[in-house]
Amino acid sequence: MAQWDALVDAALASLAARKLLFNTRLIALAPPPVTSETFTGPEPWDRATVEVQIDRSSLKQWLAANGVDSYHEDEVNGKLVLFSGNDYMCLSSHPAVREAAVKAAQEHGMGPRGSSLICGYTTYHKLVEESLAKLQKKEDCLLCPTGFSANTAVMTALGSISSLLAAGRKPAEDERIAIFSDALNHASTIDGIRLVERQQEGVAFVYKHSDMSHLDFLLSSCSLENKVVITDSIFSMDGDFALLPELIKLRRKYGFLLVVDDAHGTLLCGENGGGVPEMFGCENDIDVCLGSLSKGVGCQGGFVACSTRWKRLILSRGRSFIFSTALPVPVVASVDAAIYISTKERWRRSVIWENVKYFASLTKLNISSPIIVIVVGSEDAAVKAHRHLLRSGFLVQPIRPPVVPPNSSRLRITLSAAHSSDDIKRLVHALTPWLPTNNPEQTCSTSSSRL
């Protein structure tokens, strides 16, 4: 978008004039190509990602802290089936991912320890950035230590534009950035926006969850010229998709910058694993796409897929990126392997979505993603449901305030490529007392603001 390109270019020129335009310094290493065998279906190491042995002592302490005093150690025996993880594609245990991490560690240890701007940026990091940019159909990409830091770096860099263009003074009210945020966006986005507001560089407007009429009203009522809309692609505590096609219609109407946090969509959605933007066929209409490497990728880290000019601004003004140590080389090597495997073992995405359909068919719930939320109400009810599921052989964590609003405590269930039909069938049976079809007062989601 020409307006925003001009703003970023002006901000970069201001940084260059003050000798504050930073660049990474590439440490040349030699990443070996991923050559590991690929597979046509789930293997034992996939199953290991959803079978866990819970520590009984810590479980007892947790339950006691929540008022459960009658716990007996024989209530939980053997392994539990995990339905609370984010390793949707089950790549964390893949032989190729393990092998890549081991080889990198043997060759380079953890790699140079320092921020990416000092000495932490290597050939491994550059290779992964190129792969992610290609996957997201963007010009460039910035690798970050976590998904949280990626979000806050984008927000603080965005806010810095108004300060840089104000040339040494606080931006006037009409020079600030207007940031429109979905009510259920992730905490990292919220914290980043709060930093921008605290620096008096931007003004936040929270629109009702996925309510395009409310967003349209806020946009039309805002007199600030430079507008940004940011949204999760899949909302982590509700499991629903952002209305990207409708957001893009509004983008064409108002000319705002569109930022999408695709943390829970990367590798899961789209024919090639390009995420929710690929699924909706709208990659070119999204200006900045963020993501996590600890969920679908099964490793660690975050990324910002964007234009080269945006990357230069973020790595120069994104505080959470600048002041964080770069990802260790073995972790980056494992990310590279996981992305490669996801392109070869496409069946993993298919199995996940088959599991979503099967869960929906058994429960008659209207679910659209591998994140399934059943709101049970009170915190006591959530702990009771959690304990019942433990007895039934499942680990499903209860989500309670302050993560979600009061009286909206819930069971957050996640499906993966390693879950079998029998796992899902038995889980649904154990969930029966809490399913909304049997308890009309319960729901599958909530839309209270988190900002």
Query: Over the stretch 81-110, which tens digit does the pLDDT of each residue have?
Result: 999 999 999 999 999 999 999 999 999 999
Residue 438 has pLDDT above 60, yes or no: no
Q: Which of 113, 189, 183 is nearest to 148 (CA)?
A: 189
DSSP characters over 279-313: HHT-GGG-SEEEEESSSSS-SS-EEEEE-HHHHHH
pLDDT digits (tens, 9 = 90+) for 164-206: 999 888 999 999 999 999 999 999 999 999 999 999 999 999 9
Tell me the C-alpha to C-alpha distance, in Å, between residue 267 and each of 252, 342, 397, 402, 427.
Answer: 27, 7, 24, 29, 25
Half-sphere exposure of 371 (CA within 13 A, CB side): 24
| pLDDT at site 70 | 61
Give the SS3 label for residue 331. Answer: helix
Q: Looking at the chain, which residues constitute the CATH 3.90.1150.10 domain(s)?
A: 44-92+346-434
pLDDT above 90 as % of the chain: 86
Q: Are 201 and 228 in contact (CB under 8 A)?
A: no
Q: Burial code of 91-125, b = ≥16 C-beta within 10 A, e = fewer?
A: bbbbebbebbbeebbeebeebbeebbbeebbbebb
For residue 143, the cross-strand partners are 303
The Cα–Cα gap between 421 and 439 comes to: 25
* Model pLDDT, residue 36: 83
Q: What is the mean predicted confidence (pLDDT) over 65-88?
A: 76
Chain mean pLDDT for the chain: 93
Backbone φ and ψ of 195, nearest 5°: -65, -40
Tell me the β-bridge partners of 81. 51, 394
Confidence of residue 72 (pLDDT cuts 50, 70, 90): low
* Predicted local distance difference test score (pLDDT) of residue 446: 45
Query: pLDDT grade, residue 415 (50/70/90)?
Result: very high
What size, in residues, is the chain? 451
- Say what the pLDDT of residue 222 is: 98
Residue 418: pLDDT over 90: yes
Lowest mean pLDDT among 89-93, 248-252, 261-265, 444-448: 444-448
> Are the C-beta atoms of residues 31 and 336 closer than 8 Å to each other?
yes
Is pTM, for the whole model, over 0.85? Answer: yes
Which amino acid is it at 208? K
pLDDT at 74: 59
Pairing of strands 371-377, 257-261: unpaired
Residues 292-337 pLDDT 10s: 999 999 999 999 999 999 999 999 999 999 999 999 999 999 999 9
Residue 437 has pLDDT above 80, yes or no: no
399-403, 419-423, 435-439: range with lowest mean pLDDT: 435-439
Contact present, 105 and 12 (Cβ < 8 Å) = no
Mean pLDDT along residues 139-163: 97
Task: Quickly tell me which residue has 């921008």 as its tokens.
Answer: 196
Ranges for all domains in the chain classified under CATH 3.40.640.10 = 97-344
Band of residue 55 on the pLDDT scale cut at 50, 70, 90:
confident
- Burial class for 169, CB neighbours closer than 10 Å (0-12, 13-18, 19+): exposed
Instruction: Report the pLDDT value the prediction gives residue 440, as an integer from 0 to 100.
Output: 46
Strand 288-292 to strand 257-261: parallel, antiparallel, or no bridges (unpaired)? parallel
CATH value of 44-92+346-434 in 3.30.565.10, 3.90.1150.10, 3.30.2270.10, 3.30.420.40:
3.90.1150.10
Please give the radius of gyration of the chain, using alpha carbons only, rounded to the nearest integer.
23
CATH code at 97-344: 3.40.640.10
pLDDT band at 76 (very low <50, low <70, confident <90, very high): low
Residue 128: is its pLDDT beyond 80?
A: yes
Q: Is the pLDDT of residue 272 over 80?
A: yes
**pLDDT of 371 over the 80 cut:** yes
